[in-house]
Amino acid sequence: MLRPEMEFAAPLEDTLVLYRSRESVLFGRKDTADVVMLPLSGAAVSIAPGVEARLHDVPDGLRVEVTTSNGIRVNYRYRDEAAGVLRVDILAEGPVPRPGARFEVTRRYTR
């Protein structure tokens, strides 16, 4: 369910780079020039054919919603933990509720 174009939000094998301005957040990785910029307004941004991302600034941190044209939804919640650790909780759901159509995982990045 986690397609390669969603890798910007929480890379599995690379460094997560986040830069926040007044109007948007830039997502990048250490070893590539590819970036995704999402506005804090929550407006949808097309990040690949059939894949849209939205950013929400909520009281407990940032949240990114990624949806695909075939009904997959992935939510990323970013929260600061103690000792300079950024925690990213990922919830992915498929279009049909059945075994294996939903999973949760947490990734942690050290600053």
Task: Please tell me the pTM assigned to this model.
Answer: 0.90
DSSP element (H, E) containing 68? strand 61-68
Whether the predicted pLDDT of 12 surpasses 90: no
Residues 77/69, Cβ–Cβ less than 8 Å: no
Residue of 102, 103, 94, 59 whose CA lies nearest to 78: 59
Say what the pLDDT of residue 78 is.
Answer: 95
Give tens-digit pLDDT for 42-92.
999 999 999 999 999 998 889 999 999 989 999 999 998 888 899 999 999
Pinpoint the alpha helices (H) of the chain: none
Q: How do the domains of the chain map onto residue ranges? A: 4-110
Count how many Cα atoms sit within 13 Å of the Cα of residue 107 in the half-sphere of its side chain: 17
Say what the pLDDT of residue 108 is.
Answer: 92
Residue of 58, 53, 95 whose CA lies nearest to 78: 58
Say what the pLDDT of residue 79 is.
Answer: 92
**Architecture (CATH level 2) of domain 4-110:** Beta Barrel (2.40)
